[in-house]
């Protein structure tokens, strides 16, 4: 042991040499370290059979669980570096055999086993775990019949997941060649051992992920196959990873694991179960000879059906022929009917013409001669024309008198008469008359219309005009002859 943790006997001798009868003392840490070394040195390798209880995986990746039997319990731990390589993952109630070393965790004054390996305690424990896993996956619906796909009747490409060196692949290829030639893609994997489940699952997912237009043709069907063996030998096909890969595969999957009496969980998840790998090949493709015979049988049945249909059609034509009249007789009957119709048409036309002639004669007798009628109409028109001329002349005279009176009134009220009396009309630039001086600004250009002509002018060219004293308004009649009007302003 190291010098910093002396054995108990050494501490006691040191106390006696000091002349003290008191028992030696240790700190808690010292005692814990002594116990840890003692346990680890005496139980460096142990093999324990027990039932797992309360398995827990920490966020760090370490596994913690309890090993128990009918009376006692033992804490177990499996470090992250070892947990991934365990042959069996701990599950509640699983009976296992673990190997490892005992150690003491001083922080809680508890001893525990650090597990290095874990395996099933026996076939009974494996069957128990298998049944519990089957019930759990079935509860998720992975084994439902609604999820299963139909197997194609004549696949062009078949993918096989199995060992590339075993007898299984040779049996499958041999049986496929005997029955029907197809393209086979083999994805070699381990079919037994710790790494077998991962390889099989990756192979199934790899086939499922192949594109339809890739360098290799995408399989129409998958066969997952392995020969017979014990429950432990076939355990890889009971792993949850493989079962989920089969259940989630979009390609139809035939499970062919072991012999007819062997059952694995992928048999429930697959779309079809074959009792043997050879039987899987027989399920996948038909027999060439059977196909040829079936095609020949269909051809014979088709020939017979066509011949029978032709014969039945011929009989129907002959029966219809018996019910038909002679074409010449039918033409003669139609010709006779036409002759009778023509004769009836002639007599009918004659009767219609006779009746029309009688009606026309009666109408003529009731008509007056056209000359007389024309004379009467001419006299009426002449009389009507005279009266119309008188009326028109009278209306024209009335309209002319009214028009003359309106013209005289218009002329009397025309502003031109006002201009003749010496007034002038001042209009602005927009040709509107200016009634007030305020309507035109100083210097504005205006037009002045006199009785005989129109002149242009500018208002106030030399300044504002001086208002002239108002003069008494003179009557137009008092206007002296020859008085000229110089300016309006």
Q: Of 282, 283, 238, which Cα lies nearest the Cα of 263?
A: 238
CA 85/CA 437 separation, integer angstroms: 121
The list of the chain residues with pLDDT below 50 reads 1-12, 14-16, 18-19, 468-473, 475-489
Residues facing residue 183 across a β-bridge: 157
pLDDT at position 24 is 73
Helix (H, G, I), strand (E, B) or coil at 331: helix
CA 155/CA 150 separation, integer angstroms: 12
User: CB-based contacts of 201: which residues, under 8 Å, 6+ apart?
Assistant: 239, 241, 242, 244, 245
Residues facing residue 73 across a β-bridge: 68
Specify whether the CB–CB gap between 228 and 171 falls below 8 A. no
CA 437/CA 264 separation, integer angstroms: 124
pLDDT at position 206 is 94
CA 185/CA 172 separation, integer angstroms: 12
CA 385/CA 339 separation, integer angstroms: 64
pLDDT tens per residue across span 383-396: 887 888 888 888 89
Alpha helices in 231-276 (DSSP H): 240-247, 265-269
CA 322/CA 210 separation, integer angstroms: 68
Output phi, psi for 454, to 5 deg: -120, 135
Answer left, alpha or beta for residue 13, where phi above 0 means left and psi between -120 and 50 means alpha: alpha
Angle between helices 277-284 and 167-179 (to 10 degrees): 30
Q: Of 143, 185, 155, 424, which Cα lies nearest the Cα of 273?
A: 143
8-129: CATH number: 2.40.50.140
Structural domain boundaries of the chain?
A: 8-129, 154-286
pLDDT at position 124 is 67
CA 406/CA 373 separation, integer angstroms: 49
**Domain range 154-286, its CATH number among 3.30.2270.10, 3.30.420.40, 1.10.490.10, 3.40.50.261:** 3.40.50.261
pLDDT at position 464 is 58
Q: In Å, how far are 76, 98, 159, 188, 207 from 214, measured between CA atoms? A: 50, 47, 15, 20, 12
**HSE toward the beta carbon, residue 345, CA cutoff 13 A:** 6
CB atoms within 10 A of CB 197: 23
pLDDT at position 15 is 47
Specify whether the CB–CB gap between 267 and 257 falls below 8 A. yes
**Paired sense of beta strands 425-427 and 272-273, if any:** unpaired
Residue in this structure with the two tokens 């493989």, named with its chain if needed: 242
């Amino acid at each position: 042991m190291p010098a910093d943790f002396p054995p108990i006997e050494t501490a006691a001798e040191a106390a006696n040499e000091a002349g003290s009868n008191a028992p030696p003392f240790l700190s808690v840490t010292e005692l814990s370290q002594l116990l840890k070394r003692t346990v680890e040195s005496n139980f460096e390798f142990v093999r324990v059979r027990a039932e797992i209880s309360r398995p827990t995986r920490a966020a760090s990746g370490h596994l913690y669980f309890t090993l128990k039997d009918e009376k006692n319990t033992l804490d177990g731990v499996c470090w992250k570096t070892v947990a991934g390589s365990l042959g069996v993952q701990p599950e509640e109630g699983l009976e296992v055999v673990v190997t490892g070393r005992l150690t003491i965790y001083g922080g809680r004054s508890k001893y525990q086993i650090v597990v290095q390996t874990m395996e099933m305690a026996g076939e009974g424990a494996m069957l128990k775990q298998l049944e519990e896993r089957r019930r759990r996956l079935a509860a998720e619906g992975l084994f439902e019949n609604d999820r299963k796909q139909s197997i194609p009747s004549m696949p062009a490409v078949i993918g096989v997941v199995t060992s590339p060196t075993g007898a299984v692949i040779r049996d499958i290829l041999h049986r496929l060649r005997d029955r029907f030639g197809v393209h086979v893609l083999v994805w070699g994997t381990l079919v037994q051992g710790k790494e077998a489940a991962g390889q099989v699952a990756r192979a199934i997912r790899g086939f499922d992920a192949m594109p339809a237009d890739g360098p290799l043709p995408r399989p129409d069907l998958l066969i997952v196959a392995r020969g017979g063996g014990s429950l432990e030998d076939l355990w890889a096909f009971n792993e949850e990873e493989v079962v989920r890969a089969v259940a989630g595969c979009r390609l139809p999957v035939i499970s062919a694991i072991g012999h007819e009496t062997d059952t694995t969980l992928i048999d429930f998840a697959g779309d079809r179960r074959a009792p043997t790998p050879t039987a899987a090949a027989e399920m996948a493709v038909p027999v060439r000879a059977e196909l040829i015979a079936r095609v020949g049988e269909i051809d014979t049945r088709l020939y017979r059906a066509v011949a029978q249909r032709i014969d039945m059609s011929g009989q129907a034509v002959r029966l219809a022929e018996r019910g038909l009249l002679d074409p010449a007789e039918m033409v003669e009957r139609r010709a006779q009917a036409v002759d009778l119709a023509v004769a009836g048409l002639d007599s009918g036309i004659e009767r219609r013409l006779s009746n029309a002639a009688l009606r026309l004669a009666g109408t003529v007798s009731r008509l007056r001669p056209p000359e007389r009628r024309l004379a009467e109409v001419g006299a009426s028109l002449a009389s009507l024309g005279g009266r119309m001329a008188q009326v028109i002349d009278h209306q024209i005279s009335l309209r002319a008198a009214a028009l003359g009176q309106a013209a005289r009134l218009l002329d009397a009220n025309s502003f031109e008469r006002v201009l003749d009396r010496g007034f002038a009309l001042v209009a602005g630039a927009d040709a509107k008359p200016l009634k007030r001086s305020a309507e035109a600004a100083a210097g504005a250009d205006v037009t002045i219309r006199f009785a005989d002509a129109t002149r242009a002018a500018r208002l106030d060219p030399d300044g504002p005009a001086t208002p002239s004293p108002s003069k008494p308004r003179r009557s137009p009649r008092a206007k002296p002859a020859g008085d000229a009007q110089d300016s309006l302003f």
